[in-house]
Chains A and B, each alone.
Chain A
Amino acid sequence: MKDIISLFFAYARTGLKTRFQYKLDSVISTFAVFFREAAGIIAMYLALLKFDTINNWNIDELLFLFSLIFITYGIFIVFFMALRDFSDWIKHGVFDRVMLRPRGLLTQLVLCGADWLAAFGHGTLGIILFIISANRVGIEWNFGMAVYYIVVVISGVLIQGAVFLFFSAISFYVVETNSLKEIFYWNMRKFAIYPLSIYNKFIQSILIFVVPFAFVNYFPAQFFLRKADMAAYPEWMMYISPIVGVGLYALAYAFWRFSLRYYKSAGN
């Protein structure tokens, strides 16, 4: 374990050094990611100056909801970037190199690549949103609440990690999975940012059962906020994010292990 942690820091140090070689550029690019992600929020803020609430969510409650998706993504991308770009790893034969090293395959993949630019951009945005909203949405923060918040953040990271682990496993069979990711991750994420209840039943079902983004932000936020629109869903859904996270990740891991047998090198 100690070995793994030191490995992570070694990778992080080189990664940060490479990324922040050009300081001004890195600062501008990080801010650009931050600003790009904030665009939808700014638009929502402006719209709510006119409309006040959306499905009874006011702007502070929305910011709290948004914070979860950005914080989880910020952490997720530190550990799962290699899986995000995994089809490229296979295509260019980089995965062969990983296989020759004396550590677990997934351990290496999780530790080695971090998209620091996205991590800082999304992460700071999430943290700022959390700081702005946490005390203005009527949550009585105590030890239990704080622990549960951390637990749902970890669950959110695991859920998104599981989705990418599935795609990586599929890359063993078909190599090119960018379109799958585009449809099932990036597009679904566009939907997931906003309250689930504004969508029609079909989109809601996808976000609950297929790519369970609803358990990354909507249901955990409902646990803290108890908005009226929760009445449309079974109450226990507010509590099961950790189970969904761990369960889905375990499932994805099993599928990955199984698929690994079918790996054929694309290199030469």
Chain B
Amino acid sequence: MSTYLQFAVIKFRNKMAYRFDYLLGILNTLLSFVVYWSIYKALYGGASEVDGVTFSMVTTNFIISLGLSSAFHKNEMFLQDKIKQGTIANELLKPVNFKLRMLFEDVGEGAFNVAFNFLPTVVIAAFFANLSAPSSILNVLLCLVSVVLGYIVLWQISFIVQSWAFWLFNVWGLITIKNVFVNILAGAYIPMWFMPEWLRNVIQFTPFDSIYFTPVQLYLGELQGWEILINFARQLLWIVILYVIGEFCWRRGIKKLVVQGG
């Protein structure tokens, strides 16, 4: 385990080297947030709440879902590049689990981005955007746990699509399409509360709302007692299901893999 943790730590440190990129990253996240904040400010048109959803809840929803989706952005061409260049052969020879290593490197990068991109953005946004305070310290902790679980759900979806690089010439298009689905259905571009009824009913049966919306609900204290457990259970269930699918694609892919030269 400590080996894999090292991968995360190294990635975390690597990220610290690029100072200017990092400032630019905060600006990017902040401006995306400002766009959606402005849109919903205009949509609310001064009303304090719509369907029982206050404007500060909407703002909080966007800072968490849009902010995290920006922080969790990563190089999703990683596996394809390894396959195309044939370096995956060397990776497979190493005495580490390639998939786990990939996960930990991404977690290292994600952790860096949460600490140094997401949190600064939240602090700056708090000056003008009237964010909701968390309903209690416990809720913040529950939210943090569900962010980690949500990240793993997101990571698995990404891994599944990335693994199609074993069969396809180029997965860039499919990854881009996948990201549109994730960003809309997970509520990064439109708060889950305002989705049409039929769409929300569909989303219930997908992993998407367990990525950002469960953390949002926990932070706002919208879930009580059993509901908290059910939502955590849903996140875990999706992690298991997606893991099985990902593992299936990965094993089939490795079997099929032919590396030319190298």
* A203 in contact with B173 (CB, 8 Å): no
Give B56 Cβ to nearest chain A Cβ, in Å.
Answer: 17
Does B145 lie at the interface of the complex (its beta carbon under 8 Å from any beta carbon of A)? no
Q: A190's closest neighbor in chain B, by CB? A: B35
Residues of A within 8 A of B179 (CB): 36
Does A200 lie at the interface of the complex (its beta carbon under 8 Å from any beta carbon of B)? yes
Give B16 Cβ to nearest chain A Cβ, in Å.
Answer: 18
Q: Give complex CA distance A32, B51 in Å.
A: 34
* A187 in contact with B28 (CB, 8 Å): yes
Residues of B within 8 A of A182 (CB): 24, 28
Instruction: Give chain A's interface secondary structure class.
Output: helix
Does A11 lie at the interface of the complex (its beta carbon under 8 Å from any beta carbon of B)? no
| Interface range, A side | 35 or more
Instruction: Give chain B's interface secondary structure class.
Output: helix
Given contacts A54-B43, A190-B35, contact A25 B169 (CB under 8 A): yes
From A24, A179, A199, contact of B20 by CB (8 A): A179
The residue in B28, B31, B176 that gathers the most chain A C-beta atoms within 10 A of its C-beta is: B176
Given contacts A46-B190, A46-B194, A51-B43, contact A25 B34 (CB under 8 A): no
From A28, A42, A199, contact of B174 by CB (8 A): A28
* B173 in contact with A47 (CB, 8 Å): no
Does A191 lie at the interface of the complex (its beta carbon under 8 Å from any beta carbon of B)? yes
Give A188 Cβ to nearest chain B Cβ, in Å.
Answer: 9
Does A232 lie at the interface of the complex (its beta carbon under 8 Å from any beta carbon of B)? no
Residues of A within 8 A of B177 (CB): 28, 31-32, 35-36
Does B32 lie at the interface of the complex (its beta carbon under 8 Å from any beta carbon of A)? yes
Q: B23's closest neighbor in chain A, by CB? A: A179
Residues of B within 8 A of A28 (CB): 170, 173-174, 177
- Report the count of interface residues on B (CB-CB < 8 A): 34
* A198 in contact with B39 (CB, 8 Å): yes
Does B42 lie at the interface of the complex (its beta carbon under 8 Å from any beta carbon of A)? yes
Q: A38's closest neighbor in chain B, by CB? A: B180
Given contacts A46-B190, A50-B194, contact A35 B180 (CB under 8 A): yes
* B27 in contact with A183 (CB, 8 Å): yes
* B31 in contact with A46 (CB, 8 Å): no
Q: Give complex CA distance A195, B176 in Å.
A: 26
* B190 in contact with A47 (CB, 8 Å): yes
Does B183 lie at the interface of the complex (its beta carbon under 8 Å from any beta carbon of A)? yes
Give B191 Cβ to nearest chain A Cβ, in Å.
Answer: 9
Give A157 Cβ to nearest chain B Cβ, in Å.
Answer: 23
Taken residue by residue from 141 to 169, chain A's Cβ proximity to chain B (1 for < 8 Å, 0 otherwise) reads as: 00000000000000000000000000000
Give A202 Cβ to nearest chain B Cβ, in Å.
Answer: 10
Give A248 Cβ to nearest chain B Cβ, in Å.
Answer: 23
Does A138 lie at the interface of the complex (its beta carbon under 8 Å from any beta carbon of B)? no
Does A22 lie at the interface of the complex (its beta carbon under 8 Å from any beta carbon of B)? yes
Q: B25's closest neighbor in chain A, by CB? A: A182
Given contacts A187-B27, A190-B35, A191-B31, contact A47 B43 (CB under 8 A): yes
Q: 12 other contacts beyond A28-B174, A29-B172, A49-B196, with CB at 8 A cut-off?
A: A29-B176, A32-B176, A46-B194, A46-B199, A51-B50, A179-B20, A190-B31, A190-B35, A191-B31, A198-B38, A199-B38, A203-B38
